[in-house]
C-alpha cells in the first residue's frame, strides 16, 4: 500500500475539527515557517510571517484535498498535506516534532504542520482571488450529478480509474476511494471513461457519495501516516471492502482481489463482480 496520502475524507475530518477550534482565534506569531514548503509564485514565507500576526481566523475551508484558512482580511492561507503531512492542534509546551515546518502560535495552543517527506505545500491566496479555480467538481456537493459526470467523461478513452484520480475532473479522490467507489459501482477500473452507460454513471456517483460520507463518519482511513488534528488515527480502514493489505478476497464473491497497475497507479478490484 504505497502512495497513500490524505484524500478528501481525511482532509475533511481535520477541517471539521479545526474549523470549530480556530474560528475567531487570533494568531500571535508565525514561527519556523520553512520557505521550501511555500508554493512557487506565492507570497514568500517572510511575508506570510509578517502579515498574519494579530489576525483572526474566520473559517477553515476545503476544496478537494486542499485546506484554506480564511482570515479576517479575506486572505487565505493554503495548506496541502502532500503524502505525509500532519496538521496538529497542540498545547504550546508540547515538544516540537522533527520535520515541523510551520507553527501558528495562537497563545496557549499551536497549530503545527509536520511533514517528514515534505511533499506538502503552503500558499497564499490574496483577497478576492478565486480558490484554485482549476480544480474539478466537489464530489459531496450537489454539482456532482450523474449527468455532469457523464458530460465530463464523454469521449474519454483513458481508464476510468485515471480519470477519477484527475483532480481537474473531480476534486479530492485518491487511490483508496477511487478503488472503493469503482468496486461498489461494479465497474472495472481499466474501462474507458467514455464507455460508461447512464446506469454505470448513476451507480458510480452514488458509490462516490456513500464511500466518502462513510469515510468521514469513521474519521478517515489510516494505513500509516494519517492522523487527525489531535493525533488520533482514523477507523475507516476497518470498513474498506476492496482496498487494504488484509483484503485478499472479494467480500461479495470470495474470489481473489486483483491488483494491477493502471497508468502508474495500482488498482484493486474483483474481475468477477466488476464489469
Piece in contact with Zn ion (CB under 5 A), picked from 42-50, 55-63, 203-211, 263-271: 263-271
Q: How far is CA 30 from CA 24, 45, 63, in A?
A: 17, 10, 24
Piece in contact with Zn ion (CB under 5 A), picked from 69-77, 120-128, 142-150, 248-256: 248-256
Q: 19 or 241, CB closer to Zn ion?
A: 241
Angle, helices 175-184 vs 198-217, to 10°: value is: 130
| Three-class SS state of 46 | helix
User: Is residue 185 a contact point for Zn ion (CB under 5 A)?
Assistant: no
Q: Identify the residue among 250, 257, 268, 269 touching Zn ion (CB under 5 A).
A: 250
Minimum CB distance to Zn ion, residue 234 (Å)? 26
Q: Identify the residue among 24, 39, 53, 272 touching Zn ion (CB under 5 A).
A: 272
Catalytic residue among 63, 65, 121, 161: 65
- Report which secondary-structure segment, H or E, holds 87: strand 86-91
User: Is residue 242 a contact point for Zn ion (CB under 5 A)?
Assistant: no
User: Is residue 252 a contact point for Zn ion (CB under 5 A)?
Assistant: yes
Q: 96 or 272, CB closer to Zn ion?
A: 272
210 closest CA partner among 175, 236, 171, 247: 236
User: Is residue 270 a contact point for Zn ion (CB under 5 A)?
Assistant: yes
The half-sphere exposure of 184 on its side-chain side, counting CA atoms within 13 A, is 22
Catalytic residue among 6, 9, 159, 189: 6
Q: Identify the residue among 35, 44, 253, 259 touching Zn ion (CB under 5 A).
A: 253
193 burial type by CB count under 10 A (0-12 exposed, 13-18 middle, 19+ buried): buried
Q: 45 or 274, CB closer to Zn ion?
A: 274
Residue with cell 484535498: 65
Dihedral of CA atoms 158, 160, 166, 172 in degrees, nearest 10, equals: 180
First to last CA, the chain: 24
Minimum CB distance to Zn ion, residue 91 (Å)? 48
Binding mask 85-104 for Zn ion (x = CB under 5 A): --------------------
Query: Under the rule (CB under 5 A), what is the footprint of Zn ion?
Result: 250, 252-253, 270, 272-273
Looking at the annotation, which residues are catalytic? Answer: 6-7, 65, 265
Amino acid at each position: 500500500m504505497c502512495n497513500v496520502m490524505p484524500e478528501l475524507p481525511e482532509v475533511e475530518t481535520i477541517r471539521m475539527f479545526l474549523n470549530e477550534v480556530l474560528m475567531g482565534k487570533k494568531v500571535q506569531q508565525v514561527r519556523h515557517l520553512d520557505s521550501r514548503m511555500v508554493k512557487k509564485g506565492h507570497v514568500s514565507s517572510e511575508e506570510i510571517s509578517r502579515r498574519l500576526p494579530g489576525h483572526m481566523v474566520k473559517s477553515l475551508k476545503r476544496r478537494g484535498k486542499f485546506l484554506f484558512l480564511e482570515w479576517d482580511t479575506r486572505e487565505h492561507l493554503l495548506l496541502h498535506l502532500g503524502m505525509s503531512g500532519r496538521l496538529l492542534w497542540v498545547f504550546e509546551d508540547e515538544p516540537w516534532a522533527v520535520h515541523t515546518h510551520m507553527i501558528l502560535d495562537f497563545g496557549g495552543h499551536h497549530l503545527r504542520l509536520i511533514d517528514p517527506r515534505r511533499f506538502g505545500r503552503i500558499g497564499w491566496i490574496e483577497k478576492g482571488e478565486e480558490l484554485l479555480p482549476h480544480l474539478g467538481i466537489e464530489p459531496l456537493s450537489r454539482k456532482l450529478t450523474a449527468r455532469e459526470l457523464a458530460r465530463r467523461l464523454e469521449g474519454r478513452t483513458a481508464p476510468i480509474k485515471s480519470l477519477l484520480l484527475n483532480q481537474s475532473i473531480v476534486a479530492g479522490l485518491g487511490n483508496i476511494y477511487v478503488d472503493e467507489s469503482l468496486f461498489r459501482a461494479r465497474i472495472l477500473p481499466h474501462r474507458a471513461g467514455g464507455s460508461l452507460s447512464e446506469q454505470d454513471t448513476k451507480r458510480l456517483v452514488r458509490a462516490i457519495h456513500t464511500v466518502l460520507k462513510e469515510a468521514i463518519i469513521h474519521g478517515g482511513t489510516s494505513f500509516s501516516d494519517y492522523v487527525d488534528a489531535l493525533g488520533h488515527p482514523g477507523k475507516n480502514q476497518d470498513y474498506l471492502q476492496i482496498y487494504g493489505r488484509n483484503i485478499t478476497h472479494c467480500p461479495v464473491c470470495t474470489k481473489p482481489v486483483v491488483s494491477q497497475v493502471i497508468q502508474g497507479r495500482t488498482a484493486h478490484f474483483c474481475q468477477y463482480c466488476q464489469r
